[in-house]
């Protein structure tokens, strides 16, 4: 079976993530990295669409929709599944985004 380049990239990323997750990384360091990734994403979300000024409302709607979808997935979990760690990592990214937006708001307010 011939693989396309997209399938090859996805398989490589999946195997790379599997190798990283099997190492003895401290869970705290992984959570901190996801938090910092969320902070970086919030900086990008607040600066790139703000250049023209007309994308502010659409950007805010996308952030709120992302936030609410992740919150719904997190708080509906009653039994542990194999996706628990992935959802918690996405939750840390979500918290980083909210934290970054608060920091940007304080920078604009001062």
The 10s digit of each residue's pLDDT in 68-85 is 887 787 777 666 566 667
Q: Report yes or no on whether pTM surpasses 0.85.
A: no
The 10s digit of each residue's pLDDT in 91-105 is 888 889 888 888 888
Q: What is the CA radius of gyration of the chain?
A: 17
- The residue that leads in pLDDT, 77 or 108, is 108
Residue 17 banded pLDDT, cuts 50, 70, 90: confident
Residues 100 and 49: their CA atoms lie apart, in Å, by 15
φ and ψ at residue 26, rounded to 5 degrees: -70, 135
Q: Which residues of 80-109 are buried (b: 16+ CB within 10 A; e: fewer)?
A: eeeeeeeebbbbbbbbbbeebbeebeeeee
Residues 89 and 91: their CA atoms lie apart, in Å, by 5
DSSP of 17-80:
HHHHHHS---HHHHHHHHHHHHHHHHHHHHHSGGGTSSSHHHHHHHHHHHHHHHHHHHHT--S-
pLDDT for 7 beyond 70: yes
- The residue that leads in pLDDT, 87 or 68, is 68
In the chain, what are the domain boundaries?
Answer: 25-109
pLDDT for 42 beyond 80: yes
pLDDT for 58 beyond 60: yes
């Amino acid at each position: 079976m011939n693989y396309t380049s997209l399938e090859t990239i996805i398989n490589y990323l999946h195997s790379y993530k599997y190798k990283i997750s099997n190492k003895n990384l401290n869970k705290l360091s992984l959570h901190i990295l996801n938090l910092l990734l969320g902070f970086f994403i919030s900086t990008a979300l607040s600066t790139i669409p703000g250049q023209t000024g007309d994308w502010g409302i659409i950007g805010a709607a996308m952030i709120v929709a992302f936030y609410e979808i992740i919150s719904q997935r997190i708080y509906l979990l009653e039994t542990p599944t194999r996706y628990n760690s992935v959802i918690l990592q996405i939750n840390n990214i979500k918290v980083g985004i909210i934290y970054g937006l608060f920091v940007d708001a304080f920078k604009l307010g001062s």
